Structure formats: C-alpha cells, structure tokens
Amino acid sequence: MTAQPPAPAANRWADAGLVSGEAVELDVRAARLGSRVLALLIDLLAQLVVALTLLAGLSVLMLVLPTHVVDAALAGALQTVLLVVVLVGYPVLMERFAGGRTVGKLAVGLRVVRADGGPVGVGQSLTRALVGVAVEWPGLVLPLLSWVASVTVMLADPRGRRLGDLVAGTMVVHTRGAGVWRPVPLAVPTLVGWGHTLDLTRLDDGLALAARQYLGRVHQLVEPERARLGQALWAEIAAVISPPPPWAAPASVYLAAVLAERHRRSVDRLRRTRGLTAALWPELAAPPVAVAAPPPASTGPAASPSVLRPAAPALAVPTQPDPVRGQPAPVDAERPAG
C-alpha cells in the first residue's frame, strides 16, 4: 500500500521541516501569515487589558505619592516602563511560562519553537520581542516601510518566519492537527434494493471496520494499490455475504453499499429495542419528574404514605395448590413438617 507521492513544500501539511532525533520528519505545519495575524490581534486585546490594568495601578500610585515627588519626569519614566512591560515583557513572560505561547497563540493553536524544534529560550524570546517592537509591530523605525518589509519576508520565507524569527533563530508552528474529514460515501441508489436482501450475519465488526477505514482513506492512496486493496477487502466481504451484486461496479461501490445497509439495520434494531423497552418499562422512557419538597410530617390518621416508584417491574411468582389449605401457595413456601 502506497500513499500519495509527496507534494511540493508549499502544499504539504508537514512543511515545518522539523526532524526528530530518529531522523523522522515530524508532521508539523509552519504558521503562515493569516494565523499569525489572527494571533496578533488577540494578543493586542490582551496587551490592552494589561496596559489598562497597569495604568490604573500607576494612577493610584501617583495619587498616593507626595506632591513634591510627582513631576513630569516621573510620569514620563512610568509611561516608558509601562510600554516596555506591555510590548516586551508580555510576550517574553508568556512564552517563558506558557511553553512558547501567548494568549493569542493559545487561542489559535500556535507555538514558538527553535529552528530545530526545541523549546524556545528566554534570550530568543527577548530578541524576537525587541526586533518586533523596533521594525515590525508597532515598528518604531520607519513604521510603514518596516511593515511592508515584514510582510514580504513572511510571504517569501518557506516556513513563514518573520524578521524576529530570522534574527532569533525561531519559528512558529501549529500545535493542532490538520486532518481532512471526509464522510464515507453512501450507497448508490441502484444498489439500495440489493442491500435490503443481503445476509450480513457472518460479517463481523473487524472486517466492517477495515472496510470503513479504507473508504475513509481511499483519497490518500494511489493506483494500482488503491484498487488492489479495495478488491482484497471486497473479496473477503463477498465470501461472507449473499446474494452477489446484480451488476459489475468498482469494489468501493460495493463496500459503501454493504456498510450503508449494515448501518441502516443497526439503526432499526436500536429503534425497536428502545420501543420494546419503553413498552415493558415506561418509567425508563418517561422524562424525569421534579420532586417537590416533602410536606411537614404528620402523625394523624389523615397522613397517607408516600407512593414510591418501583425500581423494577413486578415479576409473577409461579404458584401451586397448597395441600393443607387447598389454596395456591408459592413454590418456595415452606411445607409443614412430618
């Protein structure tokens, strides 16, 4: 069985180029411009919240300090410290204590790693943050020109790295899989009638699961292995079901028809079982009833015992005539001695 040939690096899922210690390429995707911009927008909201919180704290501090201490120089110094903490301290501390992730990266599913796939260090996080503040965002040096240069670098780099990543030797990767979900194909209309006549008593769960996995991954296989595996599975299933199909078709069409009929019968069986259970034991199918608070205890003759819901339906006990009293008595009743 052969999988699809490797696609170009620009179209592959595992495009990060990370290799494990056993020389196996890891199935990790490099983060591109779209996901990183989305993470940046979320981080900007988080930084705004941090900035407002710190600003409120500094305002309280300015009110507490003596009047002769508070001046324009102190206010300017505190504002500079605030900007450094928000723009540089926030990403460095988050990447240090959250495993290379900020709030935005956690939400989008991204992570900063070294170029070789190892965990990012504090020095590398600090370098990324300083380069980002200087020439990327907010871009203190030629803002518009630096923004265009940053976007150009990210689009041109095979791993989607920005200037800060190139300088620090890091990259951003996805932490979530990118599997493509494909539903199992349904039975073609011309085989539905044939499926209703099938005898599936000898089709076990393991063989049905193998057929279902084949249909779910058939798009990842190439010819002639795709047809060979489908024919092998259909040969095994055709040996345990009857009657044979009415006309010739690819093996995947037969497999889909058999699985669709098997699923239909399972659904019908479950529906009948639930209907029979509801008929024999209605308490199981009835919705739960809210129990009201019990009334105060009463010792008078008007007090009526509470009605309890039976835990199981009552079973009839077979009886036989009692030889002494001439009345029916339980089978397991004690008989008189001697």
DSSP assignment string, 54-85: HHHHHHHHHHHS-TTT--HHHHHHHHHHHHHI
Using CA atoms, how far apart are residues 117 and 113, in angstroms rounded to an integer? Answer: 6
In terms of domains, do 170 and 61 share one? yes
Give the mean model confidence (pLDDT) for residues 59-77.
84
Yes or no: say if 164 and 87 are a contact pair by the CB < 8 Å rule: no
Confidence of residue 182 (pLDDT cuts 50, 70, 90): low
Domain membership of residue 22 (yes or no) is no
**Does position 280 have pLDDT exceeding 60, yes or no?**
yes
Residues 48 and 159 in one domain: yes
Q: State whether 138 and 50 are in the same domain.
A: yes
pLDDT at 236 > cutoff 50 = yes
Are residues 207 and 164 part of one domain?
A: no
CA geometry: angle 260, 262, 264, nearest 5 deg: 70
Residues 222 and 105 both lie in one domain: no
Whole-angstrom distance, CA of residue 219 vs CA of residue 35: 27
pLDDT of residue 289: 56
Number of domains in the chain: 2
275 and 194 co-located in one domain: yes
213 domain-assigned:
yes
Same domain flag for 94 and 140: yes
pLDDT for res 185: 62
Residue 153 in any domain: the answer is yes
Between CA 115 and CA 247 the distance in angstroms is 57
Q: Residue range 195-210: average pLDDT?
A: 90
Q: Is residue 300 part of a domain?
A: no
Q: What are the beta bridge partners of residue 242?
A: 199
47 and 100 both lie in a single domain: yes
The contacts of residue 251 (CB under 8 Å, 6+ apart) are 227, 230, 231, 233, 234
Tell me: do 198 and 169 sit in the same domain: no
User: What is the residue-averaged pLDDT of the chain?
Assistant: 79
pLDDT greater than 70 at residue 148 = yes
Instruction: Give the Cβ contact number of residue 6 at 10 Å.
Output: 10
Question: By the 8 A CB rule, do 163 and 131 touch?
Answer: yes
Distance, C-alpha 318 to centroid of its chain:
55
Strand locations in the chain, DSSP E? 110-114, 170-174, 319-321, 328-330
Closest CA to 87 of 48, 34, 29: 48
What are the tens digits of pLDDT across the range 47-60? Answer: 999 999 999 998 88
Do 93 and 124 belong to one domain? yes
Residue 150, domain extent: 33-174
Out of 186-190, 199-203, 212-216, 250-254, pick the least confident: 186-190
- Stretch among 11-25, 46-60, 140-154 having the lowest mean pLDDT: 11-25
Place of tokens 């085989």: 191
Are 161 and 197 in the same domain?
no
Chain-centroid distance, C-alpha 124: 31
Q: Which residues contact 31 (CB under 8 A, 6 or more apart)?
A: 39, 110, 160, 171, 172, 173, 174
Is 335 part of any domain?
Answer: no
